[in-house]
């Protein structure tokens, strides 16, 4: 069994993020480092200090379900963090030695679904937040991802590195970008064999200080529903609700949609944006939902 540095790093980061005072732990002398001490967390989880220390050190240990549940409770992990803890604690056998190069495919029914969401910005994300399919409204609202090099069509990469994304999500860029980074981390735990993920993380680490900070903090996210404020260069300010749907049988695919409250100014703005996108489309430009095949 190999060492598990990923589990140790996650445990250390989450322990450091704990507030001792919230747990009723007060010290006479200041703590040298933030968060709980190892012995305190071990006591909360009901495991020995030696055993917990070995987990943090990445020793080749396979913790039981009960131990993982106890650690999750002690660390007050949310559902996404619990899922990540279980994934990183038990990487797939042999996964670290295989390059994951299978082409991501989107079945015809999903293409048809996006084509029918004509007035709703929608896109399908795959592994490592790769952007696989977009409809016309998604390209008008966010970015013409078709114009980007294939290997750059990635939501986390776009959010972190593209100045247009910073301007679009001006009121909450850090929150939105860090959420995509957290989703990328979750995917990395599920696919530790994916060399493309390692390459992406390496690139973003070299190019972005915020990415390095978020990645080091072990932030973990799963796609869910949120409300986002956008500043679009054509239609101005928008308040949109994002909804995400998973596809049974295709666990690596996620449908992401942007919705406005019916009858709201943002709803009217999306109608204007749709008309603008139609005007911008060249004659015979093709289907409204385009596939972006990636490895």
Top-confidence residue, 262 or 219:
262
Top-confidence residue, 155 or 225:
155
pLDDT score recorded for residue 293: 46
pLDDT at 29 over 80: no
The answer as to whether 101 is a domain residue is no
Q: pTM for the whole thing?
A: 0.84
130 lies in the same domain as 206: yes
18 lies in the same domain as 151: no
Mean pLDDT of 94-102: 51
* Mean pLDDT across the chain: 87
DSSP 10-65: HHHHHHHT--GGGGT---SSPPSSSS--HHHHHHHHTS-HHHHHHHHTT-S----H
pLDDT score recorded for residue 150: 84
Query: Count of domains in the chain?
Result: 2
The answer as to whether 102 is a domain residue is no
Top-confidence residue, 211 or 26:
211
Question: Domain residues for 84?
Answer: 5-90
Which of 90, 117, 152 represents a domain boundary (last residue)?
Answer: 90
126-166: per-residue pLDDT in tens?
999 999 999 999 999 999 998 888 889 999 999 999 999 99
pLDDT band at 105 (very low <50, low <70, confident <90, very high): confident
149 lies in the same domain as 280: yes
pLDDT at 194 over 70: yes
pLDDT score recorded for residue 21: 79
216 lies in the same domain as 256: yes
CB-neighbour burial class of residue 210 (10 A; exposed 0-12, middle 13-18, buried 19+): middle
Residue 16, domain CATH? 1.10.260.40
Residue 224, domain CATH? 3.30.450.180
């Amino acid at each position: 069994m190999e060492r598990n540095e990923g589990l140790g790093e996650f445990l250390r980061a989450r322990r450091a993020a704990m507030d001792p005072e919230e747990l009723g732990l007060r010290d006479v002398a200041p703590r040298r480092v933030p968060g709980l001490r190892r012995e305190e967390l071990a006591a909360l989880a009901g495991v020995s200090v030696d055993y917990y220390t070995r987990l943090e050190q990445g020793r080749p240990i396979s913790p039981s379900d009960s131990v993982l549940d106890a650690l999750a409770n002690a660390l007050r992990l949310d559902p996404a963090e619990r899922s990540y803890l279980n994934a990183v604690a038990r990487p797939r056998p042999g996964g670290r030695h295989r390059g994951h190069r299978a082409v991501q495919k989107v079945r015809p029914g999903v293409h048809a679904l996006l084509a029918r969401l004509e007035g709703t910005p929608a896109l399908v994300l795959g592994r490592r937040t790769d952007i696989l399919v977009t409809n016309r409204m998604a390209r008008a609202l966010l970015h013409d991802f078709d114009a980007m090099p294939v290997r750059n069509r990635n939501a986390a990469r776009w959010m972190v590195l593209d100045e247009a994304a910073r301007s679009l999500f001006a009121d909450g860029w850090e929150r939105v970008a860090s959420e995509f980074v957290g989703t990328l981390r979750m995917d990395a735990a599920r696919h530790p064999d994916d060399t493309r993920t390692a390459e992406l993380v390496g690139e973003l680490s070299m190019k972005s200080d915020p990415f390095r900070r978020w990645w080091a903090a072990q932030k973990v996210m799963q796609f869910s529903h949120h409300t986002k404020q956008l500043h679009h260069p054509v239609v101005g300010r928008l308040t949109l609700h994002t909804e995400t749907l998973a596809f049974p049988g295709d666990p690596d695919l996620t449908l992401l949609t942007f919705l406005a409250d019916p009858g709201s100014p943002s709803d009217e703005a999306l109608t204007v944006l749709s008309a603008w996108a139609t005007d911008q489309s060249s004659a015979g430009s093709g289907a409204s939902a385009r596939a972006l095949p990636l490895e």
